[in-house]
Structure 1
Amino acid sequence: MSSIKQYMKFVKPYMGQIIWTIVIGIFKFAIPLFIPLILKFVIDDIIQGDMTEAAKTSKLLWMMGIAFGVFLILRPPIEYLRQYLAQLVSSKILFDIRDKAFDHIQRLSLKYYSNSKTGEIISRVIHDVEQTKNFVVTGLMNVWLDLVTIVIAVIIMLTMDVKLTIVSIILFPLYGFSVKYFYAKLRDLTRQRSQALAEVQGHLHERVQGISVTRSFALEEYEQEQFGKRNKHFLDKAIEHTDWNAKTFAVTNTITDLAPLLVITFAGYQVIHGNLTIGTMVAFTGYMERVYSPLRRLINSSTVLTQSIASIDRVFEFMNETYDIDDKKNAVQLGRVEGNIQFKNVHFSYDEKDGDVLKNIDLHVKKGETIALVGMSGGGKSTLISLIPRFYDVTKGSITVDGHDLRNVTQRSLRNNIGMVLQDNILFSESIAMNIRMGNPEATDEEVIEAAKKANAHDFIMSLPNQYDTLVGERGVKLSGGQQQRVAIARVFLKNPPILIFDEATSALDLESEHMIQEALSKLSEERTTFVVAHRLATITHADRIVVIEHGKITEVGTHEELLRKRGSYYDLYQVQDFHNEAAVVNE
């Protein structure tokens, strides 16, 4: 389906309002069309009429009085209604598209986001969607109004003089050919310019987020050069677009400028030879402006529409991205689960060409059991736990919760049963209370405070200037790493899920913060099925079972004591970490 057809689905609910806006617009544009007729009447029937000066004056005042009444009383409310309705309808359509786009954003898989720049996505949802507004206002409203204005003006001109009317519109075919020729290429150039702008925005968004890296490595000059390359690419595309657009205007405006000259030449000849009145000649000259002004607007409209259509293409190119993870039509709606999870011969690969990241994973986790996943970086620990909330689907095998294959249940009902605390938890740039309430948006203030207390976060929150109303800044930048983690743990307490996932939740913290967070995590894990990915092995010795993952495979499973006695990979890892810990104590 073409992007225009898809866009029109959003327009369809408002077609009645659009038609009403066009009808009002016809009255708005039709009223000024009578001015040349009034001018003709004043010249031919009043000024050159066979009447006394008093009669001429009286007739002139009566006619102009009526005209002033129409323009002062009738036209202003029509103008207001037309402008208001046009902006109202287009704004509603854009609201619907952005609403749908945000829903789409939330349903796209993590795989898509790992291959896309955030800034480019934002550019499509904000900038490109805004550009499509012109398609509604210009393409669905103004173009039709300009065409109707031209038709009405030509009909009036035909009633005055057929030959002169033909001369007036003789250049129309040439105008139509030039528009078709120039605007075919302009659409492609507009699309290229929009893509180049999105690349600039994507690069800028990424670099603003990583400004601390730029500063710490003194990369300002290098980054300026990198930004300059992308900015220059956009400049080149913008200049190429501008060059072609300027050629378009030069040719089409020349055509619309030649037409009045033809009319003046032919009409002057007719007046000289007594075949046309001066009033008719003046009126026709006035109508040339009424005919060719809409044509010039149509040129501008063509440029605007070309830009809008290019933006529509980009918007629906994004909106048509397929979901790697989607609910089946008959997907089961899970209630609160017990927490029995089984991995059966699980294989997983991010890309078929890259081979399997996980291989032959078989693991049965019972309700309330704490499972620690350990191993060298890159072994597949974080990948394995990302399969549990179905951020990705297994390539082969299956994962079941209480006997339900994850692929046969709805994503939302599954994730309602899972709470996650990560190494780099995302906090939104709002209040601490709001960030905790992400665990349960309907929670009361008392429940939020209770969750914070359980997470060992209440005391530090109360020491802040605005306490629970303190704004944490983008990604929680105003809080320390330990404070961010405790807020993240508090929202999981508030959610109260039966399954927990801790992914390196304490690896980047100082010892004091780690102790407080470990205490909170221990309380949180009670009677819940818990998965812990840990770098510091000393923090997971209490686990019911420790699973060693190496090169995407499970190589050892057992308790801390069992694995130490086995003297395998876990023993080696533990000995290395224990040696480093002893060395650190000696150095102190």
Structure 2
Amino acid sequence: MRRYSTTAEPAPAEPANSLFQGGGARRSDWQTVRNLLPYVWHYKWRVMLALTCLVAAKVANLGVPVLMKKLVDSMNIAPGDPAALLAVPVGLIVGYGLLRLSSTLFTELREILFSKVTQSAVREIALQVFRHLHALSLRFHLDRQTGGMSRDIERGTRGIQSLISYSLYSILPTLVEMSLVIGFFVVRYDIWFAAITICALAGYIVFTIVVTEWRTHFRRKMNELDSRANQKAIDSLLNFETVKYFGNEEYEARRYDENLRTYRTAAIRSQNSLSFLNFGQQAIIALGLILILWRATVGVAAGKLTLGDLVLVNTLMIQLYIPLNFLGVIYREIKQATTDMDRMFVLLGTQQEVADTPGAPVLAVNGAEVRFRHVGFGYEKNRVILDDVDFTIAAGTTTAVVGHSGSGKSTLARLLFRFYDVTRGSIEVDGQDIRKVRQVSLRASIGIVPQDTVLFNDSIYYNIAYGRPEATREEVIEAARAAQIDTFISELPQGYDTPVGERGLKLSGGEKQRVAIARTLLKNPPILVFDEATSALDSRTEQAIQSELMRLAQNRTTLLIAHRLSTVVHADQILVMDRGRIIERGTHAELMRANGHYAEMWQIQARNAAEGSPDADALAIDVGDATQDA
């Protein structure tokens, strides 16, 4: 889902190296692994115990074929010999069974010990990424497609589990088992056994690494195409009504199918390359097994080796190639996991554009006077949005800002919430520069009723309580009563538990605005922002909501941003903006007497009313040349 601005303000330009559009530079696998290690090493004792158990399991696993050799050699008794039953090596049989059991026991102990490490690391990283996303600036989120980003995070967390599971208690024990087998061959048999084993292992590992490196880009391409298809699907479904308005269901289906066809092609190529890799690995294994069995057979024929040695060599090689084959799978999974994790860790390392200064104090509100001191700002360097904006909202008063679309009105609210930092000048609350206080305390002191109230896909109660999650149920209901929505909620079959749907689409515009008002009332902030709060409503609903907003603004410092002059006549101060500058200021009466830009806009509205235009008192003022800055 692409996040769009809900106002007429221009969205920031997308950075050239947009990570989730495929432009970000991919880091090395080792860099990704280094980012993961601190989360795992936090449980270092569990890690070491798990590794000890796994090594013990491999040692026990190696002892199984050695006991089998002794068992075979001890059974070299002529058929029909009455001493055969007495010669059965009961101790070897019992030992054989115990070694197999101990191998399984140590393996399960490893899983028990390491499960907490894996899941805790996944939890910590996922939570950190989630918090970091909320800490990033509005510019970042306007530039990203949420559907693709969520898929990247999902794959990244799965990749963490794969990487931890495979790398820490599979690769090392496999290498230990390989070393034990080669050492055993060197000590017990001639050098050819070890040489054949080493050559087969080296060939297998080199082939696996080279081919896996070659086919990794297929996996990366699959991820990109998968994210793109997911973005298109989510964007289309979230804009369901727009699709229906224009009858473009088939058009959306064709767009989605184009991405699916491209993904299918990449997936087929990836599978074909995987089949080639698997066949090559098995060919190397088969060649090594043939050569070493040939050496063992020659030894038995020459009387230098026993049948037990032949069984031992064959079993060791098969037993070695099982984890060796798994080692190839591990390497492929690790490459895929690091590819999947890379985007998530780069996201986690994204710099905060708007960050608290070290040791920033909490905002101390005493009256809540707001001062914009010669503020300058632009979303882009070559386009100025605000130019030397200077005004004060006295504590407990209402200041309204009007002007054409694109004049910079809604940018004032974004800067006050510190979604962006000003380019020049400063914004102060009770004499404190908002860049020097903690953002959490600043935003806790400000409430907003926006033009387009977007609700969570949850119950009405949840959305009202979101203003202050720790509030009691009685306080939530009281806020609903104050916003005059309690009667409507009570008439619903599910009452306060009624789901509002995706983005609150099950409610009307007026109902959503009342929920927003109740939410802000529950928050009870000293500073209020009404950003085009009634411009999307019909006249009757607007008048009802407007009276509720007036009550909400009493004794609070209020910034009222509006297109419609009918909503600002009561303000203690009205600012008229054009091209990012304040061109007029005063009360409604003062501005009408000045007969300037404000009076001209008022006359346009009055003329429309005289001509009988429907909803004349709610007409937008951005007509004619008012669109010049849109």
What is the TM-score with the length of structure 1 in the denominator?
0.94
Per-residue deviation at 1:419?
Answer: 0.3
1:225-247 deviations in Å (ceiling 9; x for gaps): 22223333333433343343333
Amino acid aligned to 2:304: N
Select 1:132's aligned residue among 160, 166, 185: 160
**Bigger Cα displacement from structure 2, 228-237 vs 48-57:** 48-57
Distance in 1, matches of 2:360 and 2:615, equals 58
- 1:455 alignment partner, one of 455, 461, 483: 483
What SS class does the counterpart of residue 476 from structure 1 fall into? coil
- Which residue does the alignment assign to 2:12? none
Residue 553 of structure 2 aligns with an amino acid whose one-letter code is: S
- 1:586 Cα deviation from its structure 2 partner: 7.6
1:358 to 368, 380, 386: 386
Superposition map of 1:247-326 within 5 A: 247-326=276-355
Alpha-carbon distance in structure 1 between the residues aligned to 2:567 and 2:615: 22
Amino acid at match of 1:290: Q
C-alpha displacement of 1:561? 2.0
Q: Contact 1:456–1:516 at 8 Å: present in 2 too?
A: no
Pairwise mapping of residues 509-588 of structure 1 onto structure 2 (< 5 A)? 509-584=537-612
- Is 1:176–2:202 an aligned residue pair? no
Q: Deviations over 1:97-136 (max 9, x none)?
A: 0010011011000000111111122122222221221110
Deviation, structure 1 residue 313: 1.4
- State the SS of the aligned residue for 1:228: helix
User: CA separation in 1, counterparts of 2:183 and 2:614?
Assistant: 100
Deviation at 1:433, TM superposition (A): 2.0
One-letter amino acid of the structure 2 residue matched with residue 105 of structure 1 = L
Partner of 1:414: 442
Cα distance in 1, alignment partners of residues 218 and 160 from structure 2 = 16
Displacement, 1:171?
2.1
**Which moves more between the two structures, 505-514 or 161-170?**
161-170
Aligned to 1:196: 225
What is residue 329 of structure 1 aligned with on the other side?
A: 358
Aligned twin of 1:17: 46
Matched with 1:486 is 514
Q: CA deviation at 1:87?
A: 3.2
Match of 2:6 in 1: none
Q: 1:587 to 1:478 in 2, by over 3 A?
A: closer
Which consecutive residues of structure 1, in runs of 5 or more, have no partner in the other structure? Answer: none
Task: Supply the AA of the counterpart residue of 2:48.
Answer: I
Letter in 2 for 1:167: I
Out of 524, 543, 560, the residue aligned to residue 496 of structure 1 is 524
C-alpha distance after superposition, 1:160-211 (max 9, x if no partner):
3233333333322222322332233344443333233222222222222112
DSSP 3-state at the match of 1:352: coil
1:265-302 CA deviation, whole Å, 9 max, x = no partner?
22222222222212111210111111111111111011
Could you report, residue by residue, the CA deviation over 1:311-350 in whole angstroms, capped at 9, with x for unpaired residues? 2211111111111100111423113342211112211111
1:154 to 179, 182, 187: 182
Mean CA deviation greater in 490-499 or 564-573? 564-573
Report if aligned partners of 2:63, 2:99 keep a CA contact under 8 Å in 1.
no
* Counterpart in the other structure of 1:218: 247
Whole-Å separation in 2 of the counterparts to 1:260 and 1:128: 38
> Please, what is the CA RMSD of the aligned residues?
2.3
Aligned ranges 1:297-446 → 2 under 5 Å: 297-353=326-382, 355-446=383-474
- 1:25 is aligned with what amino acid? L
Q: How has the CA–CA distance of structure 1 residues 185 and 16 changed in structure 2, closer, same or farther, with 3 Å as cutoff?
A: farther
- For residues 267 and 107 of structure 1, what CA distance do their matches in structure 2 show? 65
The correspondence for 1:470, drawn from 487, 498, 512, is 498
Q: Distance in 2 between matches of 1:82 and 1:373?
A: 65
Change (3 A) 1:193 1:87: farther
When residues 521 and 586 of structure 1 are mapped into structure 2, their CA distance, relative to the original with a 3 A threshold, is closer
More displaced stretch, 28-37 vs 414-423? 28-37
Cα distance in 2, alignment partners of residues 91 and 49 from structure 1: 58
**1-side partners of 2:456 and 2:430: how far apart?**
33
Alignment partner for residue 508 of structure 1, among 509, 526, 536?
536
Contact 2:375/2:390 (8 A) holds in 1? yes
Residues 94, 129 of structure 1: 8 Å contact kept: yes
Structure 1 residue 501: Cα displacement: 0.3
CA distance in 2, matches of 1:511, 1:586: 9
Q: Does 1:81 align with 2:100?
A: no
Aligned length: 586
- State the secondary structure of the residue aligned to 2:199: coil
Q: Residues 587 and 555 from structure 1, CA distance in 2 versus in 1: closer, same or farther, beyond 3 angstroms?
A: closer
Distance (whole Å) between structure 2 residues aligned to residue 143 and residue 584 of structure 1: 80
Change (3 A) 1:309 1:130: same
Q: How many Å separate the matches in 1 of 2:575 and 2:77?
A: 106
1:141 offset after TM fit, Å?
1.4
- The question of whether the paired residues in 2 share the 8 Å contact of 1:456 and 1:517 is answered with no
> Comparing 237-246 with 566-575, which one deviates more in the overlay?
237-246
Question: Structure 1 residues 304 and 107, CA, compared in 2 at 3 Å: closer, same or farther?
Answer: same
The answer as to whether partners of 2:64 and 2:99 remain within 8 angstroms in 1 is no
Q: Which has the larger displacement, 501-510 or 144-153?
A: 144-153
**Residue pair 1:190, 1:306 contacting (<8 A) in 2 also:** no
Aligned pair 1:65/2:65, yes or no?
no
State the match for 2:194 in structure 1: 165
Which stretches in structure 2 are left out of the alignment for 5+ residues?
A: 1-26, 617-630
- Distance of 1:586 and 1:508 partners within structure 2: 15
1:493-525, Cα deviation, whole Å (9 max, x unpaired): 111111100111111123333233212211110
For the 8 Å contact 2:162–2:334, the answer to whether it is kept is: yes
For 1:483 and 1:77, how far apart are their aligned partners in 2?
62
Indicate whether 1:39 and 2:68 are aligned: yes
2: distance between equivalents of 1:46 and 1:186? 50
**Cα offset, 1:585, TM superposition:** 6.0
Between the aligned partners of 1:489 and 1:345, the Cα distance in structure 2 is 31
Find the aligned partners of 2:240 and 2:458 in 1 and give their Cα distance.
21
1:418–1:500 CA contact under 8 A, matched in 2: yes
**2:451/2:534 contact within 8 Å kept:** yes
- Per mean C-alpha deviation after superposition, the further-off stretch among 90-99 and 37-46 is 37-46
CA distance in 2, matches of 1:417, 1:172: 66
Q: TM-score, normalised by structure 2?
A: 0.88
Deviation at 1:217, TM superposition (A): 0.7
Secondary structure in 2 matching 1:169: helix
Aligned equivalents of 2:509 and 2:568: distance in 1? 21
58-67 or 333-342, which deviates more: 58-67
**Cα separation, 2, equivalents of 1:496 and 1:455:** 13
Q: Does the CA contact (< 8 Å) of 2:74 and 2:89 recur in 1?
A: no
Shift of 1:582: 4.0
Contact 2:365 2:429 in 1 (8 A): no
Distance in 2 of aligned mates of 1:238 and 1:415: 46
**Which letter maps to 2:339?**
A
Distance in structure 2 (CA, Å) of the matches to 1:257 and 1:86: 34
Contact 1:547/1:554, CA 8 A, preserved across alignment: yes
CA contact (8 A) 1:203 1:227 kept: yes
- Do the aligned partners of 1:168 and 1:262 also contact (CA within 8 Å) in 2? no
